[in-house]
Each structure stands twice: as C-alpha cells, then as structure tokens.
Structure 1
Amino acid sequence: MRKKFLLTIIFIILLGNVVIAEGFESNFVKAEVIDVENQSYNESKNQIVRVKVLEGDYVNQEIDIEYFTIDYSEYNFELHRGSKVRIRISKNEHNKIEANIMNICREDHLKLLGIIFLIAVIIFGRMKGLLSVMSLGISGIIIIKIMMPMILKGCNPVIVAIICSILIILISFILIAGFTRKSFIAILGTVGGTIIAGILAQTFTNLCAITGLASEEVTFLIREVGMEIDFKGLFLSGVIIGSIGVVMDVAMTITSVIFELKSQSPRIGFIKLMHSGLEVGKDVMATMVNTLVLAYVGGSMPLFLMFYNFNMSLSQAVSKEIIATEIIRSLCGSIGLILTIPLTSFIASIMVEDK
C-alpha cells in the first residue's frame, strides 16, 4: 500500500513537470506588472504598464507595454500592480525589445484549485482517490500524446478515438480495481456502451448531414492554422471520448452490486441477479442521464441564450448544426449509458455464476 502511495505521488509530480516543461517557450513568458498608468481615448481605455520578466532569456528585464481593454472579449480586464501576465517578447528591426500582453496569468490560481482538489481526494478517497487521480493523468497523456498527434497526422479520428478509449478504459479499471473478474466485466460493459454511443453518433451524424465545421474553434483551425483534417470524424471522436466517464461509472456500479449480492446470497440465481442489476441501473440511470445532458447544456449556455434572444422556433433552432451537434452528443452518450446497464447486468450475472 505504501509503495502504491509513493508511486502515485511521484507520478503526479512527474506529470506536472512534463506539462510545465512542454508549455514553456523562450519568447512567450510570465511577467509581473510593477507599475500601471491608466489612460483613455474617447470611449476606449488603455493602460501603460511596466512589467518585470520572470522567466526565459530576458528574466528580470523591465519592459513598457501599452495594453488596450476590449469590451465583450476575453481581454476585458484591467491590470494592476502585482498582476501576473503572459507576454510575447520579440525584437524589432532596430534590435529593440518589444512585448505584447497575450493574456492574464491564471496558472497560480488554478494550481491552488488543483491542490484543494487533491486534498479533498486524499481526505475522502485515500488510496482509491489517489489512484483515480493517477488514472485521470494517464487518460490525459493518452489523449495529448497519442490521440491528438495521430489525428494531426491524418489518421481516422473515429478509429483513433475508439483505440484510445479502450486504452483509457483498460488502464483506468486495472489501476483502480486491479485485473480481477469484476474489473474485467466492467471493462466489457464500458467498451460495449461506448461502442454503441459511437455507432449511434456515426449514424445520426450522417443522417443529419453534420459537417463538423459549425464551431468557432474549427473555423479558427481552418482559417488561421490552415489545418486540413476530417472535422466530422473529429466531432465523432469527441462524442466517444465524452461518453467514457459516465459509462465506466455505471458499469462498475452494476458489477459491484451483482457481485455483492452473490457473496451475500450464494444461492441466488441468474434471473434474480439480472433483475437486481436492472433495478439498480434504473436508479443510476435517472441521475446519470440528467448529469450527462445538463453537462452539455451547461457548456452551451451562451449559445442557447443567443437563439432564445432571436426568438427562433424550436424547429429552426435544432436545424442549426451547432445545436444539432449538441443534441447528438448528449443523446448518443445517454443511450450508450442506458444500454450499458442491461449489457453489464447480463455479463456480470453470467460470469458471477461461474465464480
């Protein structure tokens, strides 16, 4: 147990170091505001700020930068002495150092939030909680190091997503529950539910003629980056990856219930086990489907507000691709979750009988 604890802590530290090392660029650095002069021209506001570079080749150098606040944008914030910012440093034709403020520096606050999360996990989850954090970190590495590079190389995003999903499912269950009969059943149920969600998403994406080009992020990738990939497949890969978490939770819950029933009542038969799994699944489904759908709705609140403001009818709104994709994403994930319940109940009831 102590060895597992130490390995988990070492993994988290190494993961943090990898992320920090890979995110560093010598000309895109962290700086601290040491002086601010507020100015205004007509209705626009700007600030002349002096910053001290905190890292990189120009560490400890002081640079004056003119910063404009832009209403109704991500740059609608004012700077003050002590603010941490991200700046891009360059040299002009006269070899003079110039810099632009790219964004406010948020990582210190997010690190604090991450520490609070880890403390909560350690207090209430103990070793299981730490292993779940380790599993989450490995999932992130798989997505960043395997899935993203393969998609950028032109591989089919759907196939890549399925392979990476299976990897994530295998590693997560084995890490958290060990390679036991219970985890094997949960793996089968999760893979089955995820594949069902993927097949449904593929079918209705084709039926609804989804292009995958409706979002601003995709427009940016095409116009600014010049990226040429299968954006429809990219959307489908997002549906598959997005459905894993809740499906894993449902599969493990159903499996654990059936195994516990069998251990408490060894003579209980397949039919009763199956029925118990389905009954528990109904209660789990009611909350999980709500959680899944509301998570997608919550992430699209500005979008729904826009359509509400334009007084669009329901039929007009759902015909918009940007709305249709959210409906496909949430409903296909929910159906995959629902069908995981009978699938896992059936597999667990058969395999626990042979125990």
Structure 2
Amino acid sequence: MSIKQWVKRPFNIFIILFCLIFLGLFIFTLMNDQFYRTPIGQITHVEPHKSETTTDEHHNKDIKHQDTLTVKILNGQFKGKSTNVDNKYVASQADSEAFSKGNKVLLHVDHKLKDAYITEKKRDSLVVVVTGIFLLTLLCVGRKIGLQSILSLIINTAIVILAIYIHEISPQINLFALMTAGVVLSTIITLLLVTGVQWRTFITILSTLLGTFVSIGITHLVIQLTGGSGLKFETMSFLTLPPKEIFLSSVLIGSLGAVMDVAITISSGMYEILRRTPDISMTRWALAGRNIGQDIMGTMTNILLFSYLSGALPMILVYLKNANTVTYTISMNWSLEIARALSGGIGIVLTIPITIVLMQLWFKMRGVKQ
C-alpha cells in the first residue's frame, strides 16, 4: 500500500490528527510555565559540596550528597530572578531527589525568594509523552476498537473519581454503595462501547456483574465468619473510614477488569463457535466454552495476583532492609494484596460457569439458530 492510499483512509487521518494534537500538547508543556500558580524554576547550575558514605544500624550503606542549586524563576512575581537552593539527597533517593542542570522544578516560596525550596520536578511533559505513546499504540493496534477502549477508559476513570468525590462531600453516603453503582455503570458502558449493542453484550454484562458480586459476597461472608483474622487492616489505620469498607471497595474495582475479560472472552468464543457450526449440540457447545475458560483461568488469576503484589514490592524491600523477618514483612505488606487476589480469583473462576449457563439459557429461550 502506498503512502497516498494509506493517508486517504479516514481512520488513518484521525491517527495523524491525534499525533499532531499530542505533539502540540507536548510543545505546550515545555512552555506553559505562565499558566502555573505554583512558582516554577529551572536549574541553571549545580555545585556539589560534599559526599559521605553512611551506614545505619542494620549495615545498610548509602551515600549522602549535598549540592547548591542555582534556580532561575520562570513565572510569578519573582520571574527572571535567580536564587540558590540547598539540596541534600542520598544516592538511593529513598526519601529525597537528585536534580541536574536543565531540570524544571516546582518551588515553594513564602515571602522571600531566598527562603525558597524545591517540592518536586515538573513532570507534565513526561506524562504527556507516556500517555501519548500508550493511546497511540491502542489506536494503531486496535483501530476503532482501540478508540472505543480509550473512551471507556476515560469514562471509567471519571466514574471512579466521581464516586470518591461524592463520598468526600457527603461522607454519610456509603463508599461501597457508591462503588457498587459505579461498577454497574462502568460495566454497562464499557461493554456497550467495546462490543456494541447485541445479545451477547447483555449476557456478558450480566455474567460480569454476577461473577463480581458473588465473589464480593463470598469475601464479605468469610470476613464476617472469621472476624477478619489474618487480614492486616491496621496497615490502613491512617484512614478515618471503616477499613473493611475500603477493602471491599478495592476488591470490587480490582477484580472487575479480570472478571469482565473472562466473561467477554467466553461469550465471544462461544458465539463464534455457534456461528461457524450452527448444528453443534448444546453439550458440546458448553464443553467448548468450558475449555476456553480453563485456558484463560490460570493466566488471568496470575495477572491479578502479580498486579496486586507488585505494588507492595518497594515496601517489602524497605522492611527487609530494616532487619524485619520474612514472615512479618509478607504479613504486613502482602496480607491484603493476597486476599484481594484470592477474591478476584474466585470471581474469575465463578464467571466461567455463569457465562456458559447464561449463554445456554439464552439460546434455549430463543432457539439455537439465529
């Protein structure tokens, strides 16, 4: 296919416009200092002062650095002026950050410029680049389905944020109830966008919701019967909300995506089998759906487990570096994550028979031949 023919396709024109928009956004983030209320500075010079090796009581070694940074203010009342800022950091950058010449940084300035200090790097350009690459990959690989996925991603994010915002302004409204409503709405919108308005879409919606809420119900029942023994809710003690409510809300959101993926894979696979072999027996058709479920069950459960456990990996290393035992470290950092993964895994497994049964019921009601 020639370049001229490629450009003539409507969706390819849309991809080109998309690239131009993100290129424009990237250029804008490089020059948008005037739109920030927070003072922004650019480091023009870094003067190292001293470095020293430190060893703590657990024999962890690190190197402390002390630099003086010359920062030029790019916006606000001090625009154009420069100031010196002391920066102390460790090589591991566990609780501090290193800066280099050319970095743009966000500053905190009370009244005098000489009292300014750096809060963090200005990262909007990096965010735009990573987001642009992610969305462009979705569009190039998924084409129209990729565009629908992007729309569903935006809508789902907005729904979750809206639920949290409503709870923030009206704390008397139960957070789990808000998340439940959000999950139902998110499931319906996502599947309608991705698969369109057709009979298997409604089966997928129903099986996704049933699989998710049955697993949540089982999780809640187990917590009630055991009193939550073994779950380290104290790791969420900084919250002023009931920890069980927060935990169940996180399980609800976290397991939804995996359950939805299983439901849509089985329903789409069974639909395609029936379309190609309309004379297949109901027993053999159900067996084909079960085989599809068995093929994806293990991988989806592993994906869910790794997704939860990976988030706690930095804290596990911190615990181990500070001479905590392996059992204590895992119990404090992976207790809730493993529980979430197990709850989601229950939802994944239950969704397989639920989807198959719903598909069979649908065709018994309307007839096998469509």
Match status 1:124 vs 2:141 = yes
Question: Would you say the 8 A contact 1:26–1:57 is kept in 2?
Answer: no
Tell me the alpha carbon deviations over residues 242-273 of structure 1, each in whole angstroms, 9 at most, x when there is no partner. Answer: 11111111111101011111111222243222
The residue that corresponds to 2:5 in the other structure is none
CA displacement at 1:59 relative to structure 2: 4.6
Distance in 2 between residues matched to 1:258 and 1:42, nearest whole Å: 65
1:40 maps to a residue whose letter is K
Percent identity for Structure 1 against Structure 2:
25
Tell me the alpha carbon deviations over residues 219-251 of structure 1, each in whole angstroms, 9 at most, x when there is no partner. Answer: 3xx5xxxxx323331122111101111111111
Match status 1:336 vs 2:351 = no
User: 1:40-119 alignment to 2 at 5 Å?
Assistant: 40=50, 44-55=64-75, 58-70=78-90, 72-91=92-111, 98-119=115-136
Tell me the alpha carbon deviations over residues 324-353 of structure 1, each in whole angstroms, 9 at most, x when there is no partner. Answer: 211211100111111111111111222245
Match status 1:214 vs 2:232 = no
| Partner SS, residue 152 of structure 2 | helix
User: 1:3-18 alignment to 2 at 5 Å?
Assistant: none
Distance in 2 between residues matched to 1:166 and 1:2, nearest whole Å: 34
Match status 1:180 vs 2:193 = no
Query: Structure 2 length as normaliser, TM-score?
Result: 0.78
Question: Would you say the 8 A contact 1:32–1:53 is kept in 2?
Answer: yes
2:212 maps to a residue whose letter is T
Any unmatched runs of 5+ in structure 2? 1-8, 54-63
Equivalent pairs counted in the alignment come to: 330
Question: Would you say the 8 A contact 2:312–2:333 is kept in 1?
Answer: no
Question: Would you say the 8 A contact 2:65–2:91 is kept in 1?
Answer: no
Distance in 1 between residues matched to 2:85 and 2:135, nearest whole Å: 37
| Partner SS, residue 166 of structure 1 | helix
Between Structure 1 and Structure 2, whose CA radius of gyration is higher?
A: 2
Question: Would you say the 8 A contact 2:45–2:70 is kept in 1?
Answer: yes
Distance 1:196 1:73, change over 3 A: farther
CA displacement at 1:6 relative to structure 2: 6.2
The residue that corresponds to 1:231 in the other structure is 243
Tell me the alpha carbon deviations over residues 275-315 of structure 1, each in whole angstroms, 9 at most, x when there is no partner. Answer: 211111000102111111122222222344436964445xx
Distance 1:104 1:203, change over 3 A: farther
The residue that corresponds to 1:348 in the other structure is 359
Question: Would you say the 8 A contact 2:309–2:334 is kept in 1?
Answer: no
Question: Would you say the 8 A contact 1:255–1:345 is kept in 2?
Answer: yes
Tell me the alpha carbon deviations over residues 138-197 of structure 1, each in whole angstroms, 9 at most, x when there is no partner. Answer: 1111112x1211332322221111111111111111112222212111111111121123
CA displacement at 1:137 relative to structure 2: 1.3
The residue that corresponds to 2:160 in the other structure is 143
User: 1:223-262 alignment to 2 at 5 Å?
Assistant: 228-262=240-274
Distance 1:56 1:183, change over 3 A: farther
Distance 1:230 1:295, change over 3 A: same
Distance 1:173 1:61, change over 3 A: farther
Match status 1:326 vs 2:344 = no
CA displacement at 1:213 relative to structure 2: 3.6
Distance 1:97 1:294, change over 3 A: same
Query: Structure 1 length as normaliser, TM-score?
Result: 0.81
Question: Would you say the 8 A contact 1:52–1:63 is kept in 2?
Answer: yes
CA displacement at 1:91 relative to structure 2: 1.5
| More divergent stretch after superposition (101-110 vs 123-132) | 101-110
The residue that corresponds to 1:225 in the other structure is none
CA RMSD of aligned residues (A): 3.3
Distance in 2 between residues matched to 1:97 and 1:163, nearest whole Å: 51
Distance 1:55 1:166, change over 3 A: farther
Distance in 1 between residues matched to 2:139 and 2:303, nearest whole Å: 24
Distance 1:278 1:57, change over 3 A: farther
CA displacement at 1:101 relative to structure 2: 0.8
1:33 maps to a residue whose letter is I
